[in-house]
Amino acid sequence: MRAPFLLGWLVVACGGASTSDGVPQPAPSSPPITTPPLPSTPPPITLDDTSARGRSLAVDDAHVFLSSEDRGLVRIPALLGASPVPLSSGFFGAVALDPASIYSSRNQTLVRVPKDGGTETVLVTIPDAYWGPVRVSGQRVYFVSFTMTGGLERTQSHCTLQTISKDGGAPSTLLTYDTCGDFVVDENAVYAVRANDLVKIPIDGGAVTTLATLGQDILNLAQDDARIWVSALHTKQIVSVPKAGGAVELALTTPGLPTSLVADGADLVWLELPADFGGRARADVVIAPKNGGTSRTLVANVEGATALAVNADAVYCAGLGPLLRVSRH
């Protein structure tokens, strides 16, 4: 006596006509088919709402390290939870990390600060100098210092790209030039902007090789295992150059001005200023595939955004407003 019941249930389940006491019944109508919307980027999360005038960010698996004009050097959890921890006071600049320490410029010194907040070490002092990027590779720290000339119309001059042991000592000079630019370091070489050129220098110093002449307004460099990625301010382009040398390839052209470029995994991430920006304008956080696919805005109109850092899950940005975390997926 169970067979008719099972048969009737199967027919209903398959959308046919059911039976009731042997009399055919009309099939129930099917709901309309709808296409679910594409997933959208979750809204940003405020990790710290007092990070005014952030200058540089670096991130590891657990924390974001922020240098700020107002707050010095601060450690902030990469996810919501514990409160921010001040690590050192003063006017800090660019930030770089290794597993145990933070390396940053502060006034006329280059310092090493333990991530857990221990005693800091001054690696080198350069009087009357200003500081550009700071990078770390192996057991050495790489930095650019420069002097300012020209009175009120101050310009960078006498730029020096140097390297020093993580334990301090005498720095070695890798490159001197008149117009300072960005640089990145891997285990084999230093890649730097010298005037209109992208140049390559052996990691321990030596002959300088020009990889490409890219024109004026080269703003930022980023790298992966095989290529150097370059953002150009006024051409509104991101291009790449093989580390081994070769043709310059256009990755994409942006509506605004790309800055703070990061290459991570399959993606490029950057801050995009409005084309007509003046001073510390609002910026969008944008992500795009390295292969030239469609770009996507992760968060728009970040006030005075100047600092950007990326890990596998999220993008972190700061400027005049709070420190924000936004998913990159």
Among 139-143, 168-172, 297-301, 318-322, the least confident range: 318-322
Which pLDDT band holds residue 38 (cuts at 50, 70, 90)? very low
The separation between CA 153 and the C-alpha centre of its own chain, rounded to angstroms, equals 30
> Burial level of 97, CB count in 10 A (0-12/13-18/19+)?
middle
Which pLDDT band holds residue 206 (cuts at 50, 70, 90)? very high
Which pLDDT band holds residue 6 (cuts at 50, 70, 90)? very low
Residue 234 has pLDDT above 90, yes or no: no
Residues 6+ apart with CB under 8 A from 146: 129, 130, 132, 156, 157, 158, 159, 160, 180
Give me the pLDDT at residue 51, please.
60
Give me the pLDDT at residue 156, please.
54
- Dihedral angle at the C-alpha atoms of 292, 296, 302, 305, nearest 10 degrees? -20
Tell which residue, 250, 248, 246, 245, has the closest CA to residue 268: 250
In a 3-state reduction of DSSP, which class is residue 5? helix
Residue 279 has pLDDT above 50, yes or no: yes
Give me the pLDDT at residue 18, please.
38
State mean pLDDT over 316-329.
Answer: 88
Which tokens belong to 247? 């043709």
Give me the pLDDT at residue 168, please.
95
Q: How far apart are the two ends of the chain, measured CA to CA in Å?
A: 54
Give me the pLDDT at residue 96, please.
97
Asked if 47 and 322 touch (Cβ cutoff 8 Å), the reply is yes
Q: Is residue 81 part of a domain?
A: yes
Residue 35 has pLDDT above 70, yes or no: no
Give me the pLDDT at residue 178, please.
78
State mean pLDDT over 111-129.
Answer: 90
Residue 304 has pLDDT above 50, yes or no: yes
Give me the pLDDT at residue 274, please.
87
Portion of the chain with pLDDT greater than 70, in percent: 81
Give me the pLDDT at residue 263, please.
96
Q: Is residue 18 part of a domain?
A: no
Among 40-44, 264-268, 313-317, the least confident range: 40-44
Q: Name the amino acid, one letter, at 155.
A: T
Residue 175 has pLDDT above 50, yes or no: yes
Q: Is residue 151 part of a domain?
A: yes
Prediction pTM value: 0.83
| DSSP H or E stretch at residue 184 | strand 183-185
Domain of residue 68, CATH code = 2.130.10.10
Give me the pLDDT at residue 328, please.
85
Residue numbers of the domain that contains 181? 41-327
Portion of the chain with pLDDT greater than 90, in percent: 53
Q: Is residue 33 part of a domain?
A: no
Q: Is residue 286 part of a domain?
A: yes
State mean pLDDT over 252-269.
Answer: 93
What is the count of structural domains for the chain? 1
pLDDT tens digits, one per residue of 88-108 = 998 899 999 999 999 999 888
Give me the pLDDT at residue 157, please.
63
Q: Higher pLDDT residue, 318 or 14?
A: 318
